[in-house]
Amino acid sequence: MNNIALVINTISTNSDVWKMFFGQLDKHFPADMKRYVFVDKDTGELPPDCNVLVYDREHKYQQQFSQCIKDVPEKYCIYISEDYVLYDDVRIDLIEQHRQTLEVNPQVSFIRFMRGGVIDSGFPNFQFYENLYELSNVLPYFYTNQAALWRTRDLEKIHVHGPNLHIANKDWENSFEFQASKTCRELSIKGLYSYYGEEKRGLYHYDTIVFPHISTALVKGKWNLSEYTGELTPLLEIYGVEPGIRGAV
């Protein structure tokens, strides 16, 4: 699909989520888009149609991701992780519109598929594009690991030049996801998000019709039933997952 790849970041300790994740991906996402899986080891449980790229578990997230993303040649990529579980069909037509927007606006590095974040200050429309809004890279949380369409080399650049940290720490401000916003400012990275009037979900983000997913299915390793009871409960049953093993929030 027009030089777009799907990039899935995961870890083998979350392999119990893979059956649900890939099952829902097969139901709701086109099979003809190339899939790359970044993982610490190939356990043989991943679908055969995935291109598995193995990172070093001993490294921190910044090095792990940099090690893998360099081997994704496609111009654009959709970033997700294994707990972004789809519950409805992806709007490929809107993703294609987003890709075209990036094509004609080379100063923009990514389009996030959803509104939200810790700081949600009602950003202005991007030029004359309906449903696309500018993000300010001078605010915290400009960079977040959420489902988005990226220029692959710009996503790589952020990780190569970003801080050598894990994706999340108990000390949140000392995590890659928080500190990478500074890297984005230094690299003059610009980004947008799409919003089609979707409802707010939880404290910090909104649903998305572009990529309808549970964001995220795991919270600190436990099933996120507090925010996604209606979507997640039937999926746990369909895929034979016993929620009591991980616990739920």
CATH number of the domain bearing residue 72:
3.90.550
**Cβ neighbours for 75, distance < 8 A, ≥ 6 positions apart:** 3, 4, 151, 152, 153
pLDDT digits (tens, 9 = 90+) for 210-219: 999 999 999 9
Q: What is the mean pLDDT of residues 19-35?
A: 97
Q: Which band of pLDDT confidence, cut at 50, 70 and 90, is reported for residue 141?
A: confident
Residue 50 has pLDDT above 60, yes or no: yes
In the predicted structure, residue 182 carries a pLDDT above the cut 80: yes
Residue 96 lies in a domain: yes
Give a yes or no: residue 81 inside a domain: yes
* For residue 216, cis peptide bond before it (omega within 30 degrees of 0): yes
What's the total number of domains in the chain?
1
Listed range (21-35, 73-87, 94-108, 133-147) with the worst mean pLDDT: 133-147
By residue range, what is the domain housing residue 176? 4-216
The pLDDT, as a whole number, for residue 124 is: 85
Of residues 167 and 190, more confidence is placed in 190
- Residues 60 and 165: beta-carbon distance below 8 Å: yes
The reply to whether 151 falls in a domain is: yes
CA 160/CA 239 separation, integer angstroms? 37
Q: Indicate whether 26 belongs to any domain.
A: yes
Q: What is the mean pLDDT of the chain?
A: 94
Residue 229 pLDDT: 96
Please indicate, yes or no, if residue 235 is contained in any of the structural domains: no
Q: Write out the two tokens for 107.
A: 């100063």
Judged against a pLDDT cut of 60, whether residue 245 lies above it is answered with yes
Asked if residue 165 belongs to a domain, the reply is: yes
CA distances from 20 to 124, 145, 231, 232 (A): 37, 20, 12, 10
> What are the pLDDT digits (tens) for 90-132?
999 999 999 999 999 999 999 999 998 656 666 789 988 999 9
Which is more confident, 52 or 136? Answer: 52
**pTM of the prediction?**
0.95
The average pLDDT across 144-164 equals 97
Predicted pLDDT at 49: 94
Q: Report yes or no on 247 lying in a domain.
A: no
The confidence band for 165, taking pLDDT boundaries of 50, 70 and 90, is very high
Residue 115 domain flag: yes
